[in-house]
């Protein structure tokens, strides 16, 4: 038995966070580990299953983690040798939120949580690794190169679900806590706490925290007469103190309070008790922070009466995006959050216009297209929208169209005041070309898809990324049906879209240098939107349309879904999904820094390492291009 435990300990020692433990500790843990053999396609746990008493490490083989959304199974991640998954029972009480299934014959180690927990409590590096992963859905958080041995979170927030802002929401807390020494008299400290309306005092030795006294200690130990009020504070303080770093998130703070069963956390310079105290987080601070989650922001949006109110909410969203990127939160989380709030702002803008104009004379749907339609709008880029109203009799058509054009103009003007620039190509509901009846729109899509390149309104592929903001869902579904009915055996349309996806200039030169702008105001800058992100967006759209995938417009999720639908090429799609997030992050950082759309990256301001990260994210594009040419029998000159 011991030789098996040693063999397991040897294996674990190679991967984080186990590499922070001694061989002796690992052998002790290994004695209680169960070895599980899973046959191909065997399910270990699935969505809504009750939590197990263990978490898991892949010893050999591959585990697929997936969720079901809109009755479709979507692959979220693959776990290989050394990867940890199934951490949910460690931190949460509710059931599993995903399914874990063996992709091939797989051996996994089940590590009992009861056995492992003491080792976590005694080792802050192990705890940080687990917390960071659970809270932020990253792979191995300490490892940017993503070598094996990563953590796959069980906290998956799907675009259909309420975005979980608390996983990257910073906390406001008391930055001037009461400080006392171990020899301070309890009565004096109690007086200080009362005067400052504080629920705690930190006990320090040479500025380092050694204990904490809270209202609870005062009630349980002094008010009951167990310890006289004239005693010194060290007789009632809780020690050691649970310490955290300065930019701890709401979720991390909640998890730590739950884990250690405490009501206060001490904020220190480096997050340990060997550095100076910077503040104290109380349970009350967590309750206050909960009040500014997306639900609350969306309630504020619904109550807004003018563009000025909406503009201030949009600015708060920008701050939130900035903080989350600074905290290395996965972009897919941030996207979910931003898209919910962006769509709520646009919806309220349409409602404010209706309040001015009076009730619409017919049912309608306002659809966002382009980046808003794909739920990828982190920065305030330009507006893209279309307006569809139901069919009316010929004698009413003119008046009805006039009303909706006015609605379009008023709404785009409100959105401009909030900070969304008008679309330079006029793709907006205020343009009479893009504000028309359902039959006119049906004819438009039929024409685009059956005779692409031949009609006067040139086909723009962004019209195939749409999301309803307000109005009649059935109208959006009718347009969706027109699109999907026209896809069958439509080689002409796919030839057109495929060539459109291939016509962009390569992001790198023959000598692997960035293909920068040669003239104009952005001379020597790299156009990350056109040269890097658009080929991925176009490729994801092209393949998801060819697979008739409904209801998934987001580029990252399209690639994830394609990896499930076409396992033979799953690696290409998963690489593209990852590349899309990396490139989007650099674009967003550029945009936040310069208050711009982030389209043009100033390469002089990037470190050598950043340039290399971007270059390696461009690598999957060649594979995607080859896939397009092979699948649709294209050459770039067809």
Q: What is the pLDDT of residues 593-603, one digit of tens each?
A: 888 888 999 98
Please report the pLDDT score of residue 120 as a whole number. 77
In-domain check, residue 320: no
Q: Rounded to an integer, what distance in angstroms lies between the CA atom of residue 9 and that of residue 378?
A: 44
CB 60 within 8 A of CB 104: no
Please report which confidence band the pLDDT of residue 412 belongs to, taking 50, 70 and 90 as the band edges: very high
| Residues linked to residue 266 through DSSP beta bridges, in sequence order | 243, 280
Give the Å distances, CA to CA, from 300 to 163, 172, 548: 16, 20, 38
Q: Which helix (H) or strand (E) holds 213?
A: strand 208-214
Give the residue from 490, 397, 504, 499 showing the smallest Cα distance to 448: 490
Alpha helices in 420-533 (DSSP H): 438-450, 473-487, 491-502, 528
In contact, 64 and 101? CB cutoff 8 Å: yes
Neighbours of 513 (CB within 10 A): 11
pLDDT at 325: 78
Residue carrying structure tokens 């967590």: 286
State how far the Cα of 98 lies from the Cα of 67, in Å rounded to an integer: 5
φ and ψ of 41, to 5 deg: 70, 5
Q: Name the pTM for this structure.
A: 0.62
**pLDDT grade for 425, boundaries at 50, 70 and 90:** confident
* 224: CB partners within 8 A, 6+ apart: none
**Domain presence at residue 90:** yes
| pLDDT above 90: residue 59 | yes
Distance, in Å, from the CA atom of 180 to the CA atom of 191, rounded to the nearest integer, reads: 12
pLDDT score for 295: 65
**583 plus 445 within the same structural domain:** no
Total Cβ atoms within 10 A of residue 528: 23
pLDDT at 562 over 60: yes
Domain range enclosing 152: 2-122+133-156
* pLDDT confidence bin for 369, thresholds 50/70/90: very high
Specify the pLDDT at position 157: 35
Percent of the chain with pLDDT over 70: 87
pLDDT tens digit string along 89-122?
Answer: 776 667 887 889 999 899 999 999 889 888 876 7
Residue 490 CA to residue 275 CA, distance in Å, equals: 66
Query: Taking Cα atoms as reference points, which of 255, 310, 128, 278 lies closest to residue 209?
Result: 278
Specify if 127 maps to a domain: no
Is the pLDDT confidence value at 229 over 50? yes
607 and 574 both lie in a single domain? yes
pLDDT at 143 over 70: no
Greater model confidence, 284 or 546: 546
pLDDT of residue 519 exceeding 80, the answer is: yes
Answer whether residue 321 is part of any domain.
Answer: no
Mean pLDDT value of segment 238-267: 82
Q: What is the pLDDT of residue 77?
A: 75
The predicted model gives 199-215 an average pLDDT of: 92
Calculate helix-pair angle for 570-594, 608-618, nearest 10 degrees: 140
Return the DSSP state at 218. I
Average pLDDT (379-385) is 84
Residue 262 lies in a domain: yes
pLDDT at 355: 92
pLDDT for res 145: 35
In a shared domain, residues 447 and 507:
no
Of 57-66, 255-264, 313-322, give the lowest mean pLDDT range: 255-264
Q: At 338, is the secondary structure helix, strand, or coil?
A: helix
- The answer to whether residues 282 and 263 touch, using CB atoms and an 8 Å cutoff, is yes
Phi, psi of 36 (to 5 degrees): -115, 130
Structural domain tally of the chain? 4
In a domain, 227, yes or no: yes
CB environment 203-230: b (16+ within 10 A), e (fewer): bbeeebbbbbbbbebbeebbeeeeeebe
Which range (94-103, 481-490, 583-592, 602-611) has the least confidence?
94-103
Question: Is residue 562 assigned to a domain?
Answer: yes
pLDDT of residue 637: 37
pLDDT of 393 higher than 90: yes
CATH value at residue 444: 3.30.460.10
pLDDT at residue 284 in the model:
79
Indicate if 34 and 51 belong to the same structural domain.
yes
One domain, residues 186 and 230: yes
Q: What are phi and psi of 57, to 5 degrees?
A: -130, 135
373 and 434 Cβ atoms separated by less than 8 Å? no
């Amino acid at each position: 038995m011991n030789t098996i435990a040693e063999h397991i300990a040897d294996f674990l020692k190679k991967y984080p966070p186990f590499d922070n433990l001694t061989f002796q500790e690992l052998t002790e843990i290994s004695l209680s580990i169960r070895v599980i053999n899973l046959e191909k396609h065997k399910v270990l746990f699935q969505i809504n299953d009750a939590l197990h008493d263990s978490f898991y490490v892949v010893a050999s083989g591959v585990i697929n983690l997936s969720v079901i959304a809109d009755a479709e199974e979507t692959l979220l991640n693959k776990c290989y040798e050394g990867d940890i998954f199934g951490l949910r029972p460690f931190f949460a009480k509710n059931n599993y939120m995903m399914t874990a299934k063996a992709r091939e014959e797989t051996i996994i180690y089940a590590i009992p949580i009861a056995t492992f927990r003491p080792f976590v409590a005694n080792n802050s590096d192990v705890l940080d690794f687990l917390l960071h992963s659970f809270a932020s859905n990253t792979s191995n958080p300490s490892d940017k190169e993503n070598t094996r041995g990563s953590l796959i979170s069980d906290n998956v927030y799907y675009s259909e679900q309420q975005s979980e802002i608390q996983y990257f929401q910073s906390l406001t807390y008391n930055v001037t806590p009461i400080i006392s020494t171990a020899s301070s008299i309890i009565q004096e400290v109690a007086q200080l706490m009362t005067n400052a309306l504080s629920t705690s005092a930190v006990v320090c030795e040479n500025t380092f925290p050694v204990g904490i006294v809270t209202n609870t200690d005062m009630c349980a130990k002094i008010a009951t007469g167990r310890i006289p009020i004239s005693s010194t504070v060290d007789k009632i303080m809780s020690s050691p103190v649970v310490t955290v770093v300065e930019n701890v998130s709401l979720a991390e703070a909640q998890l730590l309070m739950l884990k250690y069963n405490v009501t206060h956390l001490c904020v220190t310079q480096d997050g340990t008790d060997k550095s100076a105290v910077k503040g104290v987080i109380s349970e009350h601070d967590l309750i206050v922070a909960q009040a500014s989650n997306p639900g609350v922001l969306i309630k504020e949006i619904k109550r807004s009466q003018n563009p000025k109110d909406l503009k201030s909410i949009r600015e708060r969203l920008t701050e939130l995006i900035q903080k989350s990127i600074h905290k290395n939160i996965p972009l897919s989380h941030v996207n979910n959050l931003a898209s919910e709030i962006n769509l709520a702002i646009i919806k309220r803008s349409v409602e404010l216009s209706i309040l001015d104009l009076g009730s619409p004379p017919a049912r309608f749907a306002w659809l966002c297209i382009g980046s808003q339609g794909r739920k990828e709008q982190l920065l305030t880029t330009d507006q893209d929208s279309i307006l569809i109203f139901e069919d009316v009799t010929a004698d009413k058509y003119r008046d009805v169209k006039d009303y909706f054009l006015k609605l379009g103009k008023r709404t785009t003007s409100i959105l401009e005041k909030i900070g969304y620039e008008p679309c330079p190509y006029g793709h907006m509901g205020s343009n009479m070309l893009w504000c028309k009846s359902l039959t006119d729109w049906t004819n438009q899509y039929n024409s685009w898809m059956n005779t692409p390149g031949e009609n006067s309104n040139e086909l723009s592929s962004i019209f195939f990324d749409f999301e309803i903001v307000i109005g009649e869902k059935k109208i959006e579904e009718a347009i969706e049906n027109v699109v999907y009915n026209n896809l069958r055996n439509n080689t002409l349309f796919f030839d057109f879209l495929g060539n459109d996806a291939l016509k962009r200039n390569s992001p790198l030169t023959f000598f692997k240098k960035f293909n920068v702008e040669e003239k104009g105001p952005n001379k020597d800058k790299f156009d990350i939107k056109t040269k890097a992100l658009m080929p991925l967006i176009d490729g994801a759209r092209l393949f998801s349309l060819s697979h008739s995938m409904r209801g998934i417009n987001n580029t990252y999720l399209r690639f994830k879904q394609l990896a499930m639908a076409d396992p033979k090429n799953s690696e290409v799609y998963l690489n593209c999904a990852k590349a899309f997030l990396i490139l989007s992050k650099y674009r967003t950082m550029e945009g936040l820094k310069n208050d711009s759309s982030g389209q043009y990256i100033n390469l002089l301001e990037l470190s050598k390492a950043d340039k290399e990260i971007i270059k390696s994210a461009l690598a999957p594009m060649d594979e995607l291009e080859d896939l397009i040419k092979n699948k649709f029998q294209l050459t770039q000159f067809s």
